[in-house]
Amino acid sequence: MTATDQMRAMLDQLMGTSRNGEGDRFTLKFNDPKVCKSFLLECCPHEILASTRMDLGECPKVHDLALRADYEKAAKHKDYYYDIDAMEHLQAFIADCDRRTDAAKKRLAETQEELTAEVAVKANAVHQLAEEIGKKLAKAESLGEAGEVEESIQLMAEIDELRAKKVAAEQEYRSSMPASSYQQQKLRVCEVCSAYLGIHDNDIRLADHFGGKLHLGFMAIRDKLSELEKTAGPRKNDLKRSGRSDRDYEDTSRYGKSRYYVGGRELDRRSRVHRSRSKERRHGRSSRSKSYSSRRHSRSRSRSRDRR
């Protein structure tokens, strides 16, 4: 993005579609069904998880900073109930991701050596201490970069105490099982972003995970969903009880006509489409190759007849 594009985006975000009398260049209004209501509330998973391992690609609905600015102005005078749409969108996304987490846990249970109840408790203690160290280390690094040196030093002191506890927990865990079994990588699934974490992962690896864009993105989505369920959830129930349907637009996604899901199933769908297109391209290349070979063979026979 050039400097000019960045300036234009900043002006759109601040002033909306009417800046410099350019409203005519926008064919859509913020209340159009094609506009992503989650984007208007700054919580669309397509945007939050961009450039991560769970990148969902471009959102099927329109994202435009100028439309968000128009909505924020209009929302001061009228309730458009877009928070309910955003809540339902995030609920579908998180439910789908939680299903992926459950499936990952089942795969681990099938592939990893089963531990006794006593050993499992000790392994979980190591995991919990390691995760707490990773989270605090990521936060300490963030505070240090922000110039909050004293707070960062205080966290590092807490981390040293946790590391001592972790060493003791690892020793107890190691002594409770054969050496050959201990060397095997014991994995667990992150409850927030469904990534795999190992019991032998070092502090830097864990800090990179908990301070990474993927994990922080999922935390932001889950926090936003929790906030919306507290505020928009009761409003949705009141709307149903009152029988009101005074939406400012035709919300086709609510009635299933154009509802879209993101997450595991969306990624699986994209994968199927990619495989289908690849197959079509291969088939097309094969057909063109056969046609080319047939034409060459025909020309060769024609030249042979001419020589005779």
CB 224 within 8 A of CB 45: no
Percent of the chain residues topping a pLDDT of 90: 41
- Name residue 230's amino acid: K
Work out the mean pLDDT of the chain and round it to a whole number.
Answer: 78
- Name residue 59's amino acid: C
- Among positive and negative, which fits the CA dihedral 191, 219, 56, 232? positive
- pLDDT for the residue 248: 42
- pLDDT for the residue 63: 94
> Tens of pLDDT along 43-66?
999 999 999 988 999 999 999 998
Flag whether pLDDT at 221 surpasses 80. yes
CB 90 within 8 A of CB 38: yes
- pLDDT for the residue 251: 45
Of 86 and 253, the one with more pLDDT: 86
Structure-block tokens of residue 205: 């690896």
Helical ranges in the chain per DSSP H: 3-15, 37-40, 45-48, 65-74, 82-111, 117-145, 149-175, 179-182, 203-210, 213-242, 264-307
Structure-block tokens of residue 16: 């909306």
φ, ψ for residue 114, nearest 5 deg: -70, 135
Percent of the chain residues topping a pLDDT of 70: 68
Residue 177 pLDDT class (50, 70, 90 cuts)? confident
**How far apart (Å, rounded) are the C-alpha atoms in residues 154 and 137?**
11
- pLDDT for the residue 112: 76
**How far apart (Å, rounded) are the C-alpha atoms in residues 172 and 254?**
53
- Among positive and negative, which fits the CA dihedral 237, 242, 248, 249? positive
- pLDDT for the residue 254: 41
> Tens of pLDDT along 226-275?
999 999 988 888 777 776 554 544 444 443 344 444 544 554 554 455 44
> Tens of pLDDT along 89-114?
999 999 999 999 999 999 888 877 77
CB 159 within 8 A of CB 137: yes
CB 68 within 8 A of CB 13: yes
Minimum mean pLDDT among 39-43, 57-61, 74-78, 198-202: which range? 198-202
Flag whether pLDDT at 163 surpasses 70. yes
Flag whether pLDDT at 37 surpasses 70. yes
Flag whether pLDDT at 42 surpasses 70. yes
- Name residue 163's amino acid: R
Cα angle vertex 98, ends 95, 102, to 5°? 140
